[in-house]
Structure 1
Amino acid sequence: MIDVAGFEDDSITNGPGLRFVLFVQGCPHHCKGCHNPETWAFGEGCKYSVEEIHTRIRRNPLLRGVTFSGGEPFSQAAELARLGRLVKADGYELAVYTGFTFEELYAASSPAVHELLEQTDVLVDGRFELLKRNLLLRFRGSSNQRVLDVPASLRAGTAVEMPFGRWRTEGR
């Protein structure tokens, strides 16, 4: 079961194109100025099975991508990796927002974290930093956060930023 804070069935602000956004419940980071502080507490969301969420995603034939946000998606990496495999098999692009850096995730000993990374196309990484807040940035809130090409990063073993303007939905 995935502990869910909420859904956006047709977002245009959490990545390019029309997207389904899953906001998970629970976050260890507690960033000052976070726009979703109600997602911080663990265990206070609604429980949904991977299959229930997958069915909900598939209801909208106009979706081009799926975004996992939070809370902290990597706190529920095993179940989200399962959901990620399903949405990727359906041809959706998968983006994940995380307060962890790619380097922290890449060095993690958790197989579930690595499984979720392997399903991810685009990672927006890094904790939100209020002093680096920038409203002109696309798809991120502060200038320390990066938009990363995860397949390229995994091949290189280091963070590879998405070239400007390249993040768009290719599938579906």
Structure 2
Amino acid sequence: MHYGEIKKTDIANGEGVRVSLFVSGCTHHCAGCFNSETWDFSYGKEFTRATEDELLELLSPSYIAGLSLLGGEPMEPENQQTLLPFLRRVKERYPQKTVWCYTGYLFDRELQGKGRAVCGATEELLSLIDILVDGEFVQEKKNISLRFRGSENQRIIDVKKSLEQGTIVQVL
């Protein structure tokens, strides 16, 4: 996996001050995407164990609320395979910090069951994510007044409650 950027202190992509990782690779190609250079799976730098270590160190201050995963597309199956062992490390070291993930895939249709983005890593990866902002960015539904999302079709989902209850539990 490659990544385009790491933001050390980000207040736009989840609650509180966060560390954000922008992974590379996306097959959605949404019109009006703010980060279209990351559509290419080879864009940016290689995500290595040293990258993981750097991110874990960046997460250490008490004022950092957690990690946000963006893209590109973190839930592309090839990205899930790399993110899963990393998120295991994050949750092991910082169980109190939240993980937010932004995806164009729909939680209930494409990330569960026989959904098109489901792979061997999906179920466990979802169990390590606290909040999932799902749905492709839709230019015609863009709304700059929305918190933590770009278009009105996107949902902010409490993953753990949704998995427990078997239905979408939205927050905010």
- Structure 1-normalised TM-score? 0.88
User: Identity, % of aligned pairs?
Assistant: 40
What letter matches 2:105 in structure 1? F
Instruction: Say which of 133, 149, 156 aligns to 2:142.
Output: 133
Other structure's SS at 1:9 match: strand
Q: Give the whole-Å Cα distance in 2 for the aligned partners of 1:161 and 1:54.
A: 32
Amino acid of the structure 2 residue aligned with 1:45: G
**AA partner of residue 71 (structure 2):** G
Moved more, 6-15 or 149-158: 149-158
- 1:72 equivalent to 2:73? Answer yes
Find 1:96's aligned residue among 93, 101, 105: 101
| Secondary structure, aligned partner of 1:115 | helix
Count of residue pairs the alignment pairs up: 162
User: How far did 1:50 drift?
Assistant: 4.1
Measured in 1, the distance between the counterparts of 2:64 and 2:168 equals 28
Mapped partners of 2:36, 2:47: distance in 1 = 21
Matching of residue 84 in structure 1 with residue 87 in structure 2: yes
Select between 99-108 and 56-65 the one with higher mean Cα deviation.
56-65
SS at match of 2:112: helix
Do 1:20 and 1:57's aligned partners in 2 also have CA atoms closer than 8 Å? no
CA RMSD of aligned residues (A): 1.4
C-alpha contact 1:99 1:125 (8 A) present in aligned 2: yes
Distance 1:51 1:155, change over 3 A: farther
Paired residues of 1:72 and 1:99 also in contact (CA < 8 A): yes
Unaligned 5+ segments in structure 1 are 165-172
Residue ranges of structure 2 left out of the alignment (5+ in a row):
none
Partner of 2:152: 143
1:24-74 CA distances to partner (integer Å, 9 max, x unpaired)? 001000000110011111222210224532433324513111000000001
